[in-house]
Amino acid sequence: MTDARSVELRDALARVEERIVAACSASGRDRGDVQLVVVTKFFPVEDVRRLLALGVTDVAENKAQEASAKLERLTADERAALTVHFVGQLQTNKARQVAAWADVVHTVDRARLVAALDRGAEQAGRDLDVLLQVDLDAPGEADEQGHADGGHRASGSRGGAPADGIPALADEVGRAEHLELRGVMAVAPRGGDPERAFAALARVADGVRSAHPRATLVSAGMSGDLEQAVAHGATHLRVGSAILGPRPAPR
């Protein structure tokens, strides 16, 4: 593909790849242990096709409706070549729909959602990989400096369960027949220090992994903080605007 947009995406992918390689080498990690997930929300299916042609294997969406409409426009071969991640806040009543098409759901943060996704996966005749979303803003977050500020949350919580609720939720997923617990996910708090946030996430990830050895994934890091995420053990980086450009306004 030689259209101008493909060239733009190819160059942006190369710049992000350079950042990932540099971050891995700075922390002595193998590039192969970090998966780039390109967040294609708000961008058209044509961009997903361009990314596929450029070798991208993993894409993420954050709106159930938008994502399924987009994925329906892919051919069976195109769809089969992709791992599709769901990274948005998920209402329980949309869980069944998402369970029918997502390969990995990153935003599991409550028991009712575990049950709904498990039922949805069963009805769709498939198994689903899930990550538990940790709310690093939540009071009582594993903050060893003691800076938790008594219940204040940054405006517009991005979802997630408080760190102290994660072990029970992990066991819940462990009991779900059609869900596979693969790890944890977080978004660094707005205006906070991503280093501290991702260090806290790493501690939560260790705890989950000790009880659930297959839960080895850590989804952390976006366009602005992927270096800090790699330094703290992220296995999956969710990068949108650094590759696709500024997001168009939601329709």
Residues that bind ligand PLP (CB under 6 A): 39, 41, 62, 87, 187, 222-224, 238-242
- CA–CA distance from 57 to each of 39, 52, 53, 96, 138 (Å)? 12, 6, 10, 24, 33
Query: What angle in degrees, to the nearest 10, is found between the helix axes of 4-26 and 45-53?
Result: 60
- Residue closer to ligand PLP (CB basis): 12 or 163: 12
Give one word for 60, left, alpha or beta, with left for phi > 0 and alpha for psi -120 to 50.
beta
Q: How far is the CB of 113 from ligand PLP (least distance, A)?
A: 16
Q: How far is the CB of 2 from ligand PLP (least distance, A)?
A: 26
- Residue closer to ligand PLP (CB basis): 122 or 195: 195
CA pair distance 29, 52, nearest whole angstrom: 26
Question: Tokens for 10?
Answer: 């190819």
**Nearest in space to 161 (alpha carbons), one of 228, 208, 102, 226:** 208
- Residue closer to ligand PLP (CB basis): 18 or 171: 18
- Residue closer to ligand PLP (CB basis): 90 or 121: 90
CA pair distance 129, 148, nearest whole angstrom: 31
- Residue closer to ligand PLP (CB basis): 41 or 196: 41
Q: What is the 3-state secondary structure (H, E, C) of 146-170?
A: CCCCCCCCCCCCCCCECHHHHHHHH
Q: How far is the CB of 5 from ligand PLP (least distance, A)?
A: 17
- Residue closer to ligand PLP (CB basis): 91 or 123: 91
Inter-residue long-range contacts of 203-206, CB under 8 Å, 24+ positions, other chains counted = 203/142, 203/163, 204/134, 204/142, 204/163, 204/166, 205/233
Question: Tokens for 240?
Answer: 């949108």
CA atoms within 13 A on the CB side of 30: 2
* CB-based closest residue to ligand PLP: 240
- Residue closer to ligand PLP (CB basis): 22 or 168: 22
Q: How far is the CB of 244 from ligand PLP (least distance, A)?
A: 8
Q: How far is the CB of 223 from ligand PLP (least distance, A)?
A: 3
